[in-house]
Chains A and B, each alone.
Chain A
Amino acid sequence: MKRIALFLIVAMLVIASVPVTMTSGQGTVVPQVVTMPEQIAGGRDVSITVSDKPASDQPEELAIWDGQVAKFQAMYPNVKIEGLELKYDPTAFIAMIAGDQLPTIFKTYFTEPEKFIGQDAVADLTPYFEQTGLSSIFNENVLAIASQDGGLYGIPDFAYSLGLAYNIEMLAAAGYDAPPATWEELAEMAVTLTDKDNGVAGFAFINDGSGAAGWHYTDIAYGFGAATEDIIQANDDGTYTANFGEGATVDALQFIHELRWTHDVLPGATLDWANITEALASERVAMVIYAGDQFSFMKNQFPDADLSKFGYAPIPAGPNGSIALTGGSLWMIDSAASDDEREAAFYFQVWRQLDPVEYESSIVTQFETGRAVGQPVLPLYVGDYQAKIEEFRAQYDVLPVENYILFNNAVKNGEMKLQAEPPAKAQEYYSELGILVSEVLSDEGVDPASRLAEVEEEFQAFVLD
């Protein structure tokens, strides 16, 4: 009898510890927002190629993919989907555009639409968004990234903003129970947290001279009070003027100069998108400017890292409050695709991204395979749909979401403003400024004010005029 009671208790505990899995048979939490057409391509045979098919070393993801393809092809027998184990790579994709080899639909980053649209390589998806009414469920800030001159060129599938990741234990050991709220506080705390003898830097951001370094710097500049027009201003006559040679942008670069040469709180190593995570995970740095999705990267790439050690807060505030730049990924469709192919590609993507059953089963699989569910990212959608997917996802959080409350609340309460990109040549601007930041970090003699003025002049002549 005792044994039976014990068995029942254990069985109940096991059942209670497993989150409730919703399946199509039981109904879904997430509402249906996409109305699929009865027929695609008028029933004519159509074949499409789709990038980012999971590789065979990811059997669970591959099984989901195969299941989705089979299901979609059963719904629309005239559509044939071929998956490609191809991930976005700028070099390869440029060659693919030139050789007419782009997949019908492919995934790329938020930094790339300008390039693809400029090369007439991607299709305008506005008619499909209008037909489905889907633009109203997407966060408009995110859709703006996929838009140009009134056209909508991509289906965003993921968005994040910059924030401040920090090592909770290191901060606590130095007597801090919260991350810095302002840039001044950050500088003070970084001084305390830096321990050069043991190779520990108080603060870090991407400093490799790439566009990402320019991007991080620009986020600091916005915090110091710069507005978009203080970076690049759109004139009434359709021209653009570079304005970053004076004001808050100079203050921000001066701040970086001081962090490096006066306070000496930055790491000596060159940190790019990937190895800044390594520096954080290996406790070589206490606070970093970080994108929320990089916690997934940390979990996948550094299985030994204890993610509960790291907190995530909004970017420190300046005169303009806390301001964050955004990033993410989106799906674009090859402009060489026929109308039938475009239609099939569009519906395949929105179906597997938004259909309640597909969404829920993908979250469950991520949970079951130990993937990073719960990363602190931006709401991709608005209203009830967003609330419902968050509610569903919350059951499966794997990451220590309690450590991200400061960030998530700031986003929810609108305390952290999401900053739009400069109106033109944003990526070129980030590249140029990345180089300048690297110059400031490597040479004490560089005067931020005069160099920034020079770079502004060069940028105007070389890029904008």
Chain B
Amino acid sequence: MKVAYRMNTLYSENSLISRFMFRLSNQIVAYLFMLPALLVFGLVAWYPVARSFQMSFQDVSLRGVSTWVGLDNFELMQRDPALDIVWENSLEFASWSILLGYLLPVFLAILIREMRIAKGFFRIVYFLPTVVPVSIAIIVWRFIYDPDAGFLNGLLGVFGIEAQRWLQDPALAKPSIVMVMTWGAFGTTTLIYLSSLQDISTELYEAAELDGASPINRIRHITIPHLAPMMSLLFVLQVLAVVQVFTEPFLLTKGGPGRETLTPVLHIYNRAFMRADMGYASAWSVMLVIVLMVFSIGYQLVNRKITKNQGA
């Protein structure tokens, strides 16, 4: 029956159309089920993206008629005193977050995996910060970082170390914010790594143990190679998330001291909502998308090349 159908349709003149019609009639119910979700997604995700792209070429009047201004918003961006600083900040934030936050969940996941007792307890302990709402956590961190009466300086004082201005010192503000971000996010990442570790067959470890491999060797030759694809994916996601960071600097430093912790999204927020300059803010959003896209594609290419070389 299948063969007969294929023979009939494959060589007919309207083969493509009839195939399409057949598939459509076959799957129409599925598409109908998807339609509400597609509509909502289109309306709340893709429509704003398209509008934002359109607005980046306009002088936007929220009430009146927006006028097309060509590349004016992008030219204005070149004169923006924040332009270079914001991207330098993003790079520094990303570097700090990789340094402080990238390997920590891997390390913790392996540690928990190797534990013989209280595994469940530690899983919960490390995940707990994730359930605290960011705004509440930030109030607590503000107390911790307070330069005059903060917990952290109090702790340092016990050891005779001078009080630091965690969020007010240009040298400390970024790592201090990255600490807050890492604290809030590492629980989820640890769980992702842990679940990935569950997939490794225990036979591999048993065989390695029988061959006399030390725990370090087991981690090096079994665990890490197994986690590598996940680590690669999470690396990209982490960089994307850090470059788009908003809440922590918005609530802790408002981008200061000076512009030390001003991020692209915070700058976009300020222009859009404090200055009501939607066109210019949209131009920044478009630039942010382009930068992140270029990074993601570049990373994928490099990664593919490395994997290919390893395969060869």
Residue of A nearest to B272 (CB): A94
User: Which residue of the partner chain, among A210, A431, A442, contacts B258 with CB atoms under 8 Å?
Assistant: A442
User: Which residue of the partner chain, among A115, A209, A432, contacts B276 with CB atoms under 8 Å?
Assistant: A115
Cβ-defined contact, A268 with B276, below 8 A? no
On whether A209 and B257 interact (CB within 8 A), knowing A90-B273, A115-B276, A443-B170, the answer reads yes
Instruction: Report the bound CA distance from A118 to B170 in whole Å.
Output: 36
> Counting CB contacts under 8 A, is A376 at the interface?
no
* Chain B residues positioned under 8 Å from A180 (CB to CB): none
Query: In the complex, how many angstroms separate the beta carbon of A200 from the nearest chain B beta carbon?
Result: 9
* Chain B residues positioned under 8 Å from A335 (CB to CB): 63
* Chain B residues positioned under 8 Å from A268 (CB to CB): 147-148, 163, 165, 168
Cβ-defined contact, A209 with B256, below 8 A? yes
Cβ-defined contact, B170 with A199, below 8 A? no
On whether A210 and B147 interact (CB within 8 A), knowing A90-B273, A118-B276, A428-B275, the answer reads no
* Chain A residues positioned under 8 Å from B165 (CB to CB): 268, 442
- Contact bitstring B237-267, A, C-beta under 8 A = 1, else 0: 0000000000000000111111110000000
> Counting CB contacts under 8 A, is B4 at the interface?
no
* Chain A residues positioned under 8 Å from B169 (CB to CB): 442
> Counting CB contacts under 8 A, is B80 at the interface?
yes
Cβ-defined contact, A199 with B275, below 8 A? no
Cβ-defined contact, A462 with B274, below 8 A? no
> Counting CB contacts under 8 A, is A208 at the interface?
yes
- Contact bitstring A436-465, B, C-beta under 8 A = 1, else 0: 101101110000000000010011011000
Cβ-defined contact, A438 with B81, below 8 A? no
Instruction: Report the bound CA distance from A393 to B257 in whole Å.
Output: 43
* Chain A residues positioned under 8 Å from B253 (CB to CB): 209, 270
- Contact bitstring A174-211, B, C-beta under 8 A = 1, else 0: 00000000000000000000000001000000001111
* Chain A residues positioned under 8 Å from B255 (CB to CB): 209, 435
- Contact bitstring A240-268, B, C-beta under 8 A = 1, else 0: 00000000000000000000000000011
Cβ-defined contact, B258 with A443, below 8 A? yes
> Counting CB contacts under 8 A, is A121 at the interface?
yes
* Chain A residues positioned under 8 Å from B256 (CB to CB): 208-209, 270, 435, 438, 442
On whether A284 and B81 interact (CB within 8 A), knowing A91-B273, A94-B272, A435-B258, the answer reads no
Cβ-defined contact, B276 with A455, below 8 A? no
Cβ-defined contact, A439 with B257, below 8 A? yes
Prevailing SS type, chain A contact patch: helix
Cβ-defined contact, A94 with B80, below 8 A? no
User: Which residue of the partner chain, among B79, B148, B260, B278, contacts A461 with CB atoms under 8 Å?
Assistant: B79
Instruction: Report the bound CA distance from A83 to B253 in whole Å.
Output: 36
Cβ-defined contact, B168 with A441, below 8 A? yes
Cβ-defined contact, A270 with B63, below 8 A? no
Cβ-defined contact, A435 with B274, below 8 A? no
Number of contacts between A and B (CB, 8 Å)? 95
Interface hits, A320-356 → B, CB 8 Å: 335-336
Instruction: Report the bound CA distance from A439 to B149 in whole Å.
Output: 22
> Counting CB contacts under 8 A, is A369 at the interface?
no
- Contact bitstring B126-154, A, C-beta under 8 A = 1, else 0: 00000000000000000000111100000
On whether A120 and B148 interact (CB within 8 A), knowing A435-B258, A442-B169, the answer reads no
Most B-side CB within 10 Å, residue of A91, A267, A443, A458: A443
Instruction: Report the bound CA distance from A90 to B276 in whole Å.
Output: 9
Interface hits, B260-302 → A, CB 8 Å: 260, 270, 272-276, 278
Residue of A nearest to B276 (CB): A115
Instruction: Report the bound CA distance from A268 to B276 in whole Å.
Output: 32
Cβ-defined contact, B62 with A121, below 8 A? yes
Instruction: Report the bound CA distance from A371 to B93 in whole Å.
Output: 46
Cβ-defined contact, A199 with B81, below 8 A? no
* Chain A residues positioned under 8 Å from B120 (CB to CB): none
* Chain A residues positioned under 8 Å from B81 (CB to CB): 432, 455, 458-459, 462
Count of chain A residues with a beta carbon within 8 Å of a chain B beta carbon: 39
* Chain B residues positioned under 8 Å from A443 (CB to CB): 170, 257-258
> Counting CB contacts under 8 A, is A16 at the interface?
no
* Chain B residues positioned under 8 Å from A438 (CB to CB): 256-258
Interface hits, B166-186 → A, CB 8 Å: 167-170
> Counting CB contacts under 8 A, is A97 at the interface?
yes
Cβ-defined contact, A94 with B168, below 8 A? no
User: Which residue of the partner chain, among A119, A269, A435, contacts B147 with CB atoms under 8 Å?
Assistant: A269
Interface hits, A392-433 → B, CB 8 Å: 427-428, 431-432
Instruction: Report the bound CA distance from A98 to B60 in whole Å.
Output: 10
On whether A208 and B254 interact (CB within 8 A), knowing A442-B168, A458-B81, the answer reads yes
Query: In the complex, how many angstroms separate the beta carbon of A374 from the nearest chain B beta carbon?
Result: 32
> Counting CB contacts under 8 A, is B36 at the interface?
no
User: Which residue of the partner chain, among B63, B167, B254, contacts A121 with CB atoms under 8 Å?
Assistant: B63
> Counting CB contacts under 8 A, is B307 at the interface?
no
* Chain B residues positioned under 8 Å from A211 (CB to CB): 274
Cβ-defined contact, A210 with B254, below 8 A? yes
Instruction: Report the bound CA distance from A121 to B276 in whole Å.
Output: 11
Instruction: Report the bound CA distance from A432 to B270 in whole Å.
Output: 12
Q: Taking beta carbons and an 8 Å cutoff, which residues of B are in contact with A?
A: 61-64, 76, 79-81, 146-149, 163, 165, 167-170, 253-260, 270, 272-276, 278
Q: What are the 4 tightest A-B residue pairs by CB atom distance, in nearest-first order?
A: A442-B257, A439-B258, A209-B256, A268-B147
Q: List 14 A-B contacts (CB under 8 A).
A: A94-B273, A97-B63, A119-B62, A209-B254, A209-B256, A268-B147, A269-B146, A427-B274, A431-B274, A435-B258, A438-B257, A439-B259, A441-B168, A462-B81
